Structure 1
Amino acid sequence: MLLLKLIAALLAGGLVLTLVAAGITLLITARIEARYPPAGPFVPVTGGRIATIQAGPNPSDRGTVVLLHGASANAADPMTALGGSLAQAGFRVIALDRPGFGWSDRLAGAGMATPQAQAAAIAEALAGLGAGPAIVLGHSWSGALATALALDHPEAVAALVLMSPAVMPLPEIGPIPAIYRLALWPPVTWLLSRTVATPVGLYYLPRAGNGVFRPQAAPANYLEAVRAALVLRPATMLANVQDLTGLPAALLAQSRRYGEITAPTVIITGDRDSIVPAERHAKPLAARIPGARLVVLPGIGHMVHAVASTSVQDEVVRLSESLRLSEGVSAR
């Protein structure tokens, strides 16, 4: 009888703690959403809406640039780093929240966890905006998304700029400890994302934001400018986990097709990127895409679009001029 009472007390205490954590998560989420409301128009697509942030002239004589963000981010990241200066240079700039991130709907739930599924949604959004073919910039996880877009929806892509792209099959890392397997079990992941993950993530966000820039330092006020806390909302954290865990299998299949990409491609990477190492991703990709140009920036880490934005913009301008010249030759 005493044992049963003890078990009942422990279960009751666990339930109370879970409810308290869930309440705290709801409060933090409400404050984040109030602080960072949608920053641009929505585009209807199958299953919901894609959120955008847009800048620059429409139409533009220089063309359209599409910005696709990496993991744990949203459209404000590439727009803050690159979008403003590209708009000032005369480009129409469209940054999109990937499905489930920022203010975009997840659309098909866990079915959106592959570059191919997200490419279909992005292509539909770009068609709705009358934005193609565009120069498509993809950072990190969106290196896989941008290449999927070029492979499956070539009509949307005039050229590719792949920044620190995660594109090659990931190495085996050995047996996953039982505690991590448990955390990745969908019901447990769902529970964690709605209880402890948000307050813990809020605590570690500054450290994570600085870490992704190494060996550079994060720009002052970076986390605020890029609305980084939006990733801490439960549904977005769940989408992020799904995207990261689903990427290896998707890359295994997609990487066999890179030789089919016909869009002019520039790959920009830092030789100090420890998150997506150039030797493992950018360099092998450059060898597979016909005519791809590889730019390796010495001393630069993972966030090339933020710490070497001038170099990235120079490549975009060069591509734009090359495309316009090609169009002129074709017209004659």
Structure 2
Amino acid sequence: MNELKTARSRVNFKSAEDVDREIERLQKQVDTGTMKLVDDKKALSEISSLHRQKKGFVGFDAQQKAIDDLKSQITELKKTLDDPEQKALSEKYTLLQKELDELKAEQDEAFKNMKALRDQMDKARTEQQEKYIAMKQVKDAYYQAKRTYGEYEQQAYKARQERKRQEREEYEAGKRKQIASQKLDEASTPAYQNEILTAEGLIRYFDPSAVATKETTGPSKFAATTQRIVDSSGIKGTRLMKKDEAEENYFMGTGGKKGKKARKGGASSPAPMPAEGKFNLSIGVIEELTKVGVDSPMSQADVPAVVERLKEKLEFWKKDQDRKTKEVCWLMLTKLLNRYSSDANHC
């Protein structure tokens, strides 16, 4: 009985129901997931201990019931202590007490086994916690390595993009430089070049005597040989010239479309003027006069004035050629500088 009281004094609860309420309270705290790892571990340990105490209460109740039964029996025995029957009962009590002691010894052995099981459980829980910590460390290392690799990939991507941007800027700068060089080359072409060549060709057409001596010294090595001559004296009517023939006669030795071939081959003789009273101009000649801003002559009498007008324009263009060329170059240079400076500001 004293041992039962001592065992009960070691427990902070009066009944198994109190133990169940405490277990339920701790379990709710664990289920919330808001506790620290240390507190969580401590609460789980207390829950396990309370479960063990609850099992102990079952044994306490059984022992208490047995003690109460024995007390009742002792009370009844004391009433009839001197009775022979009571002596027999006393002997029976002694026997029962002996059996009770044996039961107590078995209970103590059971408690020892339970303590061993509890120690094994605590050891297993400790090992479980250690493995959990080790697994958490492995996971942390894995995710850290993954983050490091992601940062490396991001830096590598930025480096590739920066390299592409630099290559693109270098390519565009080279392209701009090439375009600027090409435009400056085009702008540095002598001004009025086409007008001068056209005017010279028209002057030669209307005034064959204006052909330079070096161009009239004789046929070049590319001149065609003498071909068969057709006698057209017996043919009646007016001979119509092909457009190619008229333009070839006009562009002989000039800088027009046919002039390049004429300069290479040379002009053996100036183009013949129309006969008196038959003043005709080809479409090509009229178009070239329009290009240089000179009105077409309406008759043979207007030709000298046209030639004089062409010479005036030719003289002006030659005198103004250098200034105009520099002006065009300067305008092109200014335009390129403004354009590229604007592009740089946008960048």
TM over 0.5: no
Which structure has more strand as a fraction of its residues? 1
Higher relative CO (CA 8 A, sep ≥ 6), structure 1 or 2? 1
What TM-score results when the alignment is normalised by the length of structure 2? 0.18
Which structure has more helix as a fraction of its residues? 2
What TM-score results when the alignment is normalised by the length of structure 1? 0.19
